[in-house]
Structure 1
Amino acid sequence: MKSLFLALFSIAASTAVAADSLLVEAESFKDPGGWSLDTQFIEIMGSPYLLAHGLGVPVKDATTTVTFPSTGQYHVYVRTKDWVARWKAPGTPGKFQLLVDGKALGETFGTKGAEWNWQDGGTVDITKPETTLALHDLAGFDGRCDAVYFTKDAAAPPDAGEKLAQWRRTTLGLPEKPIDAGSYDLVVVGGGYGGMGAAISAARMGLKVALIQDRPVLGGNGSSEVRVWAMGGIRRGQYPNIGEIVEEFQDKAKASPGTKEEFGDDLKEKVVRAEKHISLFLNNHVIASEMTDKTHIAAVIALDTRTSERRRFEGKFFVDSTGHGTLGALSGAEYTIRETEHMGMSNMWRWDMTDSPQSFAPISWGLDLEMPDFPYPRRGHAEWFWEGGFNVHPIAGLEATRDWNLRAVFGAWNAMKNKEGKDEHANAKLEWVAYIGGTRESRQLIGDVVMTREDVEQKKPFPDGTVPTTWDIDLHYPKEQYAAKFPDNPFISKAQMDKKVDRQHGYPVPYRCFYSKNIENLFMAGRDISVTHEALGTVRVMKTGGMIGEVVGKAASICVKNQCSPRTIYERYFPELQQLLALHGAARRETVNSPITLPEGYTAPPPVVDKKGGAPGIAVASLPGLVMDDAQAKTTGKWTEGSGLPDYIGNGYRYRGPKEVGTARYEFKIDKAGVYEVRMNYSENENRASNAPVTIESAEGSKQVTVNERVKSPLPQGFISLGKFRFEPGHPAVVVIGSGSANGNVAADAVQLLPAQ
């Protein structure tokens, strides 16, 4: 795989002259005009390319000057495609012309072929060596150009695969050896929230860091290019200072999608560049890895997507924060991938109402939509649920998914402007459509622990729990009412939210999910960490990914300091990592052996408080033994949620009235037989029952006790002991609160099992 990727992606965005031929990569045009550089599908079609994303208005010409090897007649080929042809859609929205010294060739490009191909442009007479070229967009609807080839030999270049890659390398005269970009303690690949968190955290702990990002801006899905606002609770749980780094660069968007300015691309870059130990490489796409053996990465090779220079980054440790698990896949890391029935890719959009009529010419190639076929874009925002590709391959099918989403967006806008919505939207103007897709799920790299949905729901206590994940288990599926017209490829999603996650304190994600099981110097940060499909639903949001990066950066500093692997930290140095996780995000040291200090005049941020302004409840993860909160209990009857009384566990507690019939059933899984003390938590109040009924089911049978919830609980943190009972695997281990009548409100909060002393 490594050599194949290297062959496919070691290409140039430059101009090359060979005998009687000239190859011009579109991304090398000196003035791109209104054309955008699209790099998100290099793994699919082998190159960056220019995209005419004008929202229906032709974009400004991309121009450059080239020097031909000689004058005379040349045959012309342009690598492009008709991007709607794969669906046999009418019309050719991506059409453009090639201008040579201001004169258009007779052929219109972007009009042939469902796949990338060298479209024949006929011949042109070159009368002087120095010549200007221009890509002239005709429609503003995402025409695309990869390269232009002039040759006195009429034969077309190879079309795809390794032959095309080898031909490019030969034609462009690429050097075999990439530029030496230096040697680093940590090489971070991917500049989203996870990569930024890892790079900043590691740099502040004394590491020399390279941060490689394949786009011109940082932030990933949380950048102005995609505009998914940052979600996930920070600064809470066992390590309440994790998240302070994220807080320095997170967006301030009031909606998703918000405005470009709200996502603060400049702030993100400013925060990164302020770290003297970070070398930032924007517009560089990692195309290969070099291995010292099957378990260690020695270096990565990146392609500069503007100049075609290849750079080699040597490192002691590496972080895959690409989202797609790209570096892991290139390096032979174990991973899983759902080729169907996965979460899709969003391309959001915005429109504004103006003071005058705004025209939009009818289109034939968009999805044929009527107003009832899609949810009305409220307040001019077409939000996250404009999502497609659920059953398209999450890597190989990305370009097709993006293009299908664009057909859906423009089909909806056509319905709003030219069909039944035209009167209401006469003054509406399309403001922004994301051409960079916001992907939710692709590869999951495998670590020593694969966190599951059950781990999160049951709050399974891992000894290396670190990052608090607070987002609900949020899984996306096609929304049935809108999928009816396009059942094979729906474009509107719904979210199924499992609300058993502790949103206030968070569930501590194990550190062992953050490094590769079989590549011994590879960390992961962001949505490609070691979790199942269902568990991904809670950890995939940006702030959580950024906190994972903070943990990884600190862990990498311990690896460098102790010359050990990420796994060894768990086995031998985890207390040292815990000490670093307790630090404020602004803490720093010059080298891994230097003293840790805070900047002069530093003021710690105020602690996180709950939405009512009070102190948060007691975190489940902070309690010893087996603990289940009321959120994990199986309830019958009517229970009311509350958090007004002190000493509650998690986000609050539940209670039922004296006339209500209802139970809260706590079912424990016992792995080791023994005698356990059973405790329950409640917050006393005069309206509570003095005879709250509780039943304990154990290997000894069933026993009922009553609890006076009107008096203060005798044990710390609001607990009372219900007695000692023997529990065994395969036998009931159940506590039921409320299994009978009572003379007041019955409260149910946490139940705790502690091995008896």
Structure 2
Amino acid sequence: MILEDAAGPRDLRTVDLEADLVVVGGGLSGTCAAIAAAREGAKVVLVQDRPVLGGNASSEIRLWILGATSHGGNNNRWAREGGIINEILLENQFRNHGGNPVVVDTIIQDWVAREDNITVLVNTVVFHAEMDGNRVRKVHAFNAQNGTMYHLQGSYFADSSGDGILVHLSGAAYRMGAEDASEFDEPMAPGDDYGALLGHSLYFYSKDVGHPVDYVAPDFALKDVEKLIPRYRNFAASEQGCSLWWIEWGGRLDTIHQSEEIKAELQKIVFGVWDYIKNSGNFPESANLTLEWVGTIPGKRESRRAEGDYIMRQRDIVEQVEHEDNISHGGWSIDLHPADGVYSQRGGCNQYHAKGAYGIPFRSMYSRNIENLFINGRLLSASHVAFGSTRVMATSSAVGQAIGTAASLCLKRQITPRELARPEHIGFLKSRLSANGHYVPLYDALAEDNLALDAELAVSSELALNGLPHDAGWKPLVADLAQLLPGPLDHTISVPVLADADSELTVELRLSQKAGNHTPEELVASYRFALAKGEGSIDIPLSSNGKAQYLFVCFLKNGHVSVGQSNALLTGLVTVKKGGLKKVSTQERQEAPEGLGVDSFDFWVPERRPVGKLVAFSTKDHQSPLHVFAKDNLLTGALRPTSGPNAWVAAWDDREAVLSLEWPEPVVARTLILYADCDYDHPLESVQYHHHDRIMPHLVHEGEILADGELVAQFSGNRQAVLHFALPEGRPVRQLVAHLRNSQGQPVALLGLRVE
């Protein structure tokens, strides 16, 4: 029993918390920042103004998580973001085969709850910042659910709030809207006609209940849909949620202070659209559909963008500029939308892709004038044009891991983010990020702080690629098809073919101009093969002009011809077909308007399993292997395929593969880390997509770890890319042995190993 006598005005309950890092915003970018910092030993407070974490990926909004892979609809091979967001996506693939956004919520909550160093405050809104000169000292926040005021003091702060509340309150420099083309020499900068901001979207789900359901629209629902929405012909009764992302509006308004007005208009549109689908008579297939869910919170795209020491611009994306401090990557198209949204006469978006993934510099991840403030998510320091690519969630999540790791290093070294960007410090940040499975472009992930470099490495076998068995039938050449093979190559291969009539098949050899890209723009050779009706084979002389990069063996479209396929799956090998992907608004070729500052090129995209298979082939005349998946790859290079597979793979018949490390003298080590192949080429959208595999087939799934002959770890059912094994604490070790198996029948493969 609590009795409060009459009194004067009372103060709210107040709680004071101190942390090394205060993260404002619990979307994916803020969540990944908090987890990364906590894993590096920092004490973190994560503040979220909503009841759940995840932001646009949560069940409140239900947008799929996506980034550089762009649904697999661009030429960015093996480009999925690594690290923490990759962990979440791989776990979601296993737990959430139906693509349920509520399950996504639980996985994100699990990942945060595992970290003892994180204090989570949900339903808590930051509204004030206390400053000490050009440093944030404390923020004030209020939770209306528990009636509590929080005073959060920190050494470092990260604004991951999307709308930049802490950027605004702290006095950090920011901008809102589109720059003139002249400011950063950006031909893609939109004029007033296209508009300066991207709008909000509101999503909905429908459900087939198996019997007719009528629908009576609310009075506020939009009328005259056919008249007011020029794209009404694109509505389909079967589409829902993010498939109608272009139900967008608000780009002509202040997307922060007029957000409620934007939401009200979007509600009118959504309920009006559903009324049109149910009652116009144009969609008889909608008879049994009911409106199951409509979001109450719009998915926001753009508002404030903070200014860092560097502002990314169009050139950084299109030309893939190699900044010394690039510590993360992106690859989504420059995806700009008309500010009038669904009411525009224009298409829903205007997407232009680069020929490959690009780097994101650390200087764009902290404020240029508030010395202890990190910025990420939609607040990344970028122009409106560059923001069109960097804004997507998986890219923002990877940036979140980068700043969380950076904050922990700043704390340990007692330096500012600007000082961490200097050459004497940035290498250590790259090393820590790479050690945790995050991809740092053009960086040797294993060359620093790795005790394994001092040991003698031995493996039970190495796969020598002499061919792929023809055991998966035939692939009709209804479109140009290409098999990527790692170079350098100077071999001849034999490929099985089947013709239903006498015909001629053209095969081209192509390379990317840039070794790490996968856009086959450079013609190396062209061959024509006369085919007789029936089954046969063709001998193709391969040459990559001595270059250590992927060669595209292109089989050009011919409706009378099929090539043999293989059921084999092999790290760093993929087949692609020429053509676009409707989901990302691409045609077969990107034709860039003159003067727009982007490139014209063909799209070559993979088909997802189980449809996508490798081309069967064999080498001729006992030649040397096309490629050896050698053990040396375990101690050098990127932890994913780039210009080559970068992998050790055991021989096809070595199902109990063994690797060992032996040091000349015993070493004291804490952890063995193995980096498995989780197929970074697969997009792994979090909701609405059904992925063929629940556990990636390339992964090492089970095994044992021995230290000086003693069993120290066993694992089975693995579904993650980075495996940590604790070693005997404080005890010197001379030999480590790993017995590894793939329970799905594929060769054992690893992309690297590290001992710390």
TM-score range, shorter chain: 0.5 to 0.7
Q: 2:380 aligns with which of 529, 533, 549?
A: 529
- Pick closer, same or farther for the CA change 1:318–1:614 going to 2, 3 Å: farther
Question: Residues 346-369 of structure 1, C-alpha deviation per residue, up to 9 Å, x if partnerless?
Answer: 101121232223232244322113
DSSP 3-state at the match of 1:179: strand
Q: Is the 8 A contact 2:212 2:289 kept in 1?
A: yes
Which residue pairs with 1:309 in the alignment? Answer: 148
Which residue pairs with 2:730 in the alignment? Answer: none
| Letter of the structure 2 residue corresponding to residue 213 of structure 1 | Q
Distance 1:617 1:263 in 2: 42
Distance 1:685 1:537 in 2: 37
1:646-661 matches, within 5 Å, as: 648-655=515-522
| Letter of the structure 2 residue corresponding to residue 329 of structure 1 | H
Matched, 1:579 2:431: yes
Of 234-243 and 492-501, deviating more is 234-243
Matched, 1:376 2:235: yes
1:447-466 matches, within 5 Å, as: 447-466=308-327
Flag the structure with more relative contact order, 1 or 2, with Cα contacts below 8 A and sequence separation at least 6.
2
Q: 2:63 aligns with which of 224, 228, 232?
A: 228
The Cα shift of 1:283 comes to 1.3
Matched, 1:431 2:271: no
Which residue pairs with 2:11 in the alignment? Answer: 174
Which residue pairs with 1:713 in the alignment? Answer: 545
Q: Is the 8 A contact 2:69 2:77 kept in 1?
A: no
The Cα shift of 1:292 comes to 1.4
Distance 1:317 1:581 in 2: 19
Which residue pairs with 2:214 in the alignment? Answer: 359
Q: 2:120 aligns with which of 280, 283, 290?
A: 280
Matched, 1:333 2:188: no
Distance 1:715 1:362 in 2: 63
The Cα shift of 1:428 comes to 2.1
TM-score normalised by length of structure 2 = 0.54
Of 443-452 and 284-293, deviating more is 284-293
Distance 1:423 1:711 in 2: 56
Which residue pairs with 1:246 in the alignment? Answer: 85
DSSP 3-state at the match of 1:264: helix
Q: 1:290 aligns with which of 130, 136, 153?
A: 130
1:142-181 matches, within 5 Å, as: 173-175=10-12, 178-180=14-16
The Cα shift of 1:186 comes to 0.6
DSSP 3-state at the match of 1:527: helix
Which residue pairs with 2:270 in the alignment? Answer: 409
Question: Residues 421-472 of structure 1, C-alpha deviation per residue, up to 9 Å, x if partnerless?
Answer: 4755333211111111100000001000000012211222211112110111
Distance 2:285 2:316 in 1: 50
Question: Residues 561-603 of structure 1, C-alpha deviation per residue, up to 9 Å, x if partnerless?
Answer: 111000001124112112112202499xxxxxxx9999xxxxx
Question: Residues 668-725 of structure 1, C-alpha deviation per residue, up to 9 Å, x if partnerless?
Answer: xxxxxxxxxxxxxxxx54759xxxxxxxxxxxxxxxxxxxx99763576699xxxxxx
Question: Residues 517-567 of structure 1, C-alpha deviation per residue, up to 9 Å, x if partnerless?
Answer: 000000012111100001011111111111001111111111001110000
Question: Residues 12-35 of structure 1, C-alpha deviation per residue, up to 9 Å, x if partnerless?
Answer: xxx99998xxxxxxxxxxxxxxxx
Distance 2:344 2:29 in 1: 33
- Pick closer, same or farther for the CA change 1:409–1:710 going to 2, 3 Å: closer
Question: Residues 12-70 of structure 1, C-alpha deviation per residue, up to 9 Å, x if partnerless?
Answer: xxx99998xxxxxxxxxxxxxxxxxxxxxxxxxxxxxxxxxxxxxxxxxxxxxxxxx9x
Q: Which consecutive residues of structure 2, in runs of 5 or more, have no partner in the other structure?
A: 179-194, 440-448, 453-480, 489-506, 529-540, 552-642, 644-756
The Cα shift of 1:641 comes to 9.7
Which residue pairs with 1:300 in the alignment? Answer: 139
The Cα shift of 1:642 comes to 7.1
Distance 1:641 1:447 in 2: 46
| Letter of the structure 1 residue corresponding to residue 404 of structure 2 | G
Matched, 1:469 2:330: yes
1:184-195 matches, within 5 Å, as: 184-195=19-30
Which residue pairs with 2:351 in the alignment? Answer: 497
DSSP 3-state at the match of 1:564: coil
Distance 1:253 1:358 in 2: 33
Distance 1:342 1:191 in 2: 23
Q: CA RMSD in A?
A: 4.2
Distance 1:511 1:519 in 2: 15
- Aligned residues between the structures: 456
DSSP 3-state at the match of 1:555: helix
- Pick closer, same or farther for the CA change 1:208–1:613 going to 2, 3 Å: farther
- Pick closer, same or farther for the CA change 1:356–1:584 going to 2, 3 Å: same
DSSP 3-state at the match of 2:332: coil
Distance 1:480 1:528 in 2: 22
The Cα shift of 1:232 comes to 1.1
Q: 2:420 aligns with which of 556, 569, 588?
A: 569
DSSP 3-state at the match of 1:272: helix
Q: Is the 8 A contact 1:234 1:243 kept in 2?
A: no
Distance 1:718 1:385 in 2: 37
Distance 1:648 1:586 in 2: 21
| Letter of the structure 1 residue corresponding to residue 266 of structure 2 | N
- Pick closer, same or farther for the CA change 1:612–1:211 going to 2, 3 Å: farther
Which residue pairs with 1:661 in the alignment? Answer: none
Q: Is the 8 A contact 2:485 2:550 kept in 1?
A: no
Distance 1:308 1:202 in 2: 29
The Cα shift of 1:371 comes to 5.1
Q: 1:540 aligns with which of 360, 367, 391?
A: 391
Q: 1:214 aligns with which of 26, 38, 49?
A: 49
- Pick closer, same or farther for the CA change 1:617–1:212 going to 2, 3 Å: farther
Q: Is the 8 A contact 1:296 1:519 kept in 2?
A: yes
DSSP 3-state at the match of 2:271: helix
Which residue pairs with 1:323 in the alignment? Answer: 162
Question: Residues 239-273 of structure 1, C-alpha deviation per residue, up to 9 Å, x if partnerless?
Answer: 9996221112238589x9x9644651011001101
Which residue pairs with 1:151 in the alignment? Answer: none
Which residue pairs with 1:741 in the alignment? Answer: none
The Cα shift of 1:290 comes to 0.9
DSSP 3-state at the match of 1:245: helix
Q: Which consecutive residues of structure 1, in runs of 5 or more, have no partner in the other structure?
A: 1-14, 20-68, 70-169, 485-491, 588-594, 599-610, 619-639, 657-683, 689-708, 720-749, 751-757
DSSP 3-state at the match of 1:330: helix
Distance 1:617 1:331 in 2: 52
DSSP 3-state at the match of 1:185: strand
| Letter of the structure 1 residue corresponding to residue 138 of structure 2 | A
| Letter of the structure 2 residue corresponding to residue 561 of structure 1 | K
1:618-637 matches, within 5 Å, as: none
Which residue pairs with 1:268 in the alignment? Answer: 108
| Letter of the structure 2 residue corresponding to residue 179 of structure 1 | V
Which residue pairs with 1:626 in the alignment? Answer: none
DSSP 3-state at the match of 2:220: coil
DSSP 3-state at the match of 1:582: helix
